[in-house]
């Protein structure tokens, strides 16, 4: 399974794991793939400690980082808004809708002083310090989602020998990333968990491979086993980039109630919804997504207003979902259609081994189709 890109990066397997859990990064790296740490959910302060924790455990194995660099967001035409301006832009109707939704479900308020998590930050100016800090670490790859990597990020990557990757949901995105100078494009199809477009992986991957040749492409969206990995290489990708499949592993810090829901869910149980981030993102369907889909209720706000609005309500749901039925019904998280095949808790290492074994079996089966 050695592709030129995997060779270049020193990987045993061309499997890239996007995760927000440091343990998953470490286990994927130890098993011969590349763990890519999503920094979007982490505060700048805590991030350095997380990176050091990872580095102490993987030795000189390569790892990567990923961040959201959206081109379009509320106020993007004027460089964004500051925190107080953002809060003032959240309509009272939206707060009232969520107050009512949670009280109808019997979800109690947060205790005084309870943590609600960091505010989601967008805009290159506010993220430049974080990116510069990331480059001070021994990363092998840095990926940008929701927009092309800026020129200075590509130049810094070149000078430090760090590959710069960018996620694309259409062939036009992929061309834009190639023109910006990205070293790798992740072609991510509709099936994917998290922010996703409307073109399926099966159609998008060969389209992107042809459009930006010879820039290497990773296939993403709906890939959770060795047959899907083999298919991705057949489509012209040099590896796979997976997000959902790690969420039900032993090492993942997925909320226990959500993990249980993922294990029981079928492949039709996800929706693309703007209800968590303000941009369409695939997630488990729940009473939360149903309420936001209802035409009688307000529409989600643009990024970053929607995550700013919802974080306290999400904290209330997550804090009580283990013993409150209403909160359990509302609880959800990002996941792709592959959730239908995520039916058992496994270690990260066994997921990696199953990828490799099924790849070998599939290649052998395909070989058998060719006459002597
Ligand atoms: C829980 C979750 C969180 C994600 N967060 C990010 C993120 O912060 N940055 C990013 O580039 N992609 C993110 N993604 C998308 C992944 O990078 C990846 O493209 C996608 O998961 C691939 O499809 P799959 O979910 O079918 O494996 C996320 C996906 C999931 C499931």
Q: Say which DSSP state 247 is in.
A: T
Q: How remote is the C-alpha of 118 from its chain's centroid?
A: 18
Which atom number of ligand 1 is nearest to the Cα of residue 337? 26
Residue 125 has pLDDT above 80, yes or no: no
pLDDT tens per residue across span 213-264: 999 999 999 999 999 999 999 999 999 999 999 999 999 999 999 999 999 9
Which atom of ligand 1 sits closest to the CA of residue 333?
1
Q: State whether residue 282 is helix, strand or coil.
A: strand
Q: Is the CB of 190 under 6 A from ligand 1?
A: no
Residue with CA at minimum distance from ligand 1 atom 4: 194
205 close to 218: Cβ distance less than 8 angstroms: no
Protein residue whose Cα sits closest to atom 22 of ligand 1:
221
**Residues 148-204: pLDDT tens digits?**
999 999 999 999 999 999 999 999 999 999 999 999 999 999 999 999 999 999 999
- Give this prediction's pTM: 0.96
Q: Is the CB of 281 under 6 A from ligand 1?
A: no
Q: Does the pLDDT value for residue 126 go beyond 80?
A: no
Burial 7-46 (b: 16+ CB within 10 A, else e): eebebebbbbbbbbbbbbbbbbbbbbbbbbbbbbebeeee
Q: For the ranges 33-47, 49-63, 211-225, which has the lowest average pLDDT? A: 33-47
Q: 16 - beta bridge partners?
A: 34, 241
Q: Is the pLDDT of residue 56 over 80?
A: yes
**335 touches ligand 1 (CB under 6 Å):** yes
Q: Which ligand 1 atom sits closest to the C-alpha of 143?
A: 11
State in Å: Cα 17 to ligand 1 middle: 9
> Which ligand 1 atom sits nearest the alpha carbon of residue 191?
26
Distance 221 CA to ligand 1 centre (A): 8
pLDDT at 296: 96
Interatomic CA distance for residues 96 and 90, integer angstroms: 11
Give the closest residue (by CA) to ligand 1 atom 21: 243
Paired tokens of 332? 């959800």
Nearest to 284 by CA among 309, 302, 266: 266
Structure confidence at residue 124 (pLDDT): 65
188 lines ligand 1 (CB under 6 A): yes
- Kindly state if the Cβ of 244 falls inside 6 Å of ligand 1: yes
Residue 220's nearest CA partner among 240, 190, 244, 200 is 240
Number of Cβ atoms within 10 Å of the Cβ of 2? 10
Pocket test for ligand 1, best of 20, 34, 38, 249 (most atoms within 8 A of CB): 38
Residue among 16, 17, 18, 134 to mutate when testing ligand 1 (max atoms within 8 A of CB)? 18
Alpha helices in the chain (DSSP H): 4-9, 22-30, 44-58, 83-88, 92-104, 124-135, 151-160, 171-180, 201-212, 226-234, 256-264, 287-293, 305-320, 325-330, 348-367
Measure 276 CA to ligand 1 centroid, in angstroms. 14
Beta bridge partners of 166: 144, 185
C-alpha of residue 103 to centroid of ligand 1, in Å = 31
**369 Cα to the center of ligand 1, angstroms:** 35
Kindly give the number of the ligand 1 atom that is closest to the alpha carbon of 36. 17
């Amino acid at each position: 399974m050695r592709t030129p890109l995997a060779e270049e990066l020193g990987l045993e397997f061309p499997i890239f794991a996007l995760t927000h859990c440091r343990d998953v990064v470490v286990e994927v790296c130890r098993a011969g793939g590349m763990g890519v740490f999503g920094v979007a959910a982490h505060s700048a302060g805590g991030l350095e400690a997380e990176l050091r924790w990872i580095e102490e455990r993987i030795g000189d194995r390569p790892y990567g980082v990923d961040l959201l660099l959206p081109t379009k967001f509320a106020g993007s035409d004027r460089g964004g808004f500051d925190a107080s301006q953002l809060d003032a832009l959240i309509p009272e109707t939206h707060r009232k809708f969520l107050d009512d939704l949670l009280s109808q479900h019997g979800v109690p308020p947060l205790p005084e002083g309870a943590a609600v998590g960091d505010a989601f930050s967008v805009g290159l100016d506010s993220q430049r310090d974080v990116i510069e800090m990331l480059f001070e670490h021994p990363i092998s790859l840095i990926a940008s989602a929701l927009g092309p990597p800026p020129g200075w990020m590509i130049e810094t990557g070149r000078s430090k020998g760090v590959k710069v990757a960018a996620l694309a949901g259409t062939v036009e995105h992929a061309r834009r990333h190639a023109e910006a100078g990205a070293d790798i494009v992740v072609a991510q199809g509709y099936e994917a968990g998290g922010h996703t477009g409307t073109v399926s992986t099966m159609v998008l991957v060969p389209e992107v491979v042809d459009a930006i040749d010879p820039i290497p492409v990773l296939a993403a969206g709906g890939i959770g086993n060795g047959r899907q990995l083999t298919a991705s290489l057949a489509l012209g990708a040099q590896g796979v980039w997976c997000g959902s499949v790690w969420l039900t592993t032993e090492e993942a810090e997925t909320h226990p109630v959500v993990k249980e829901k993922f294990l029981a869910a079928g492949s039709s149980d996800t929706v693309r919804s703007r209800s968590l981030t303000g941009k369409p993102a695939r997630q488990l369907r729940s009473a939360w997504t149903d309420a936001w889909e209802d035409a009688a209720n307000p529409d989600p706000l643009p990024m970053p207003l929607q995550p700013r609005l919802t974080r306290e309500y999400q904290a209330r749901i997550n804090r009580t979902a283990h013993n409150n039925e209403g909160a359990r019904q509302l609880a959800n998280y990002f996941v792709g259609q592959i959730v239908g095949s995520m039916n058992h808790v496994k270690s990260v290492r066994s997921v990696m081994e199953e990828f490799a074994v099924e790849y070998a079996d599939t290649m052998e089966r395909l070989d058998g189709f060719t006459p002597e």
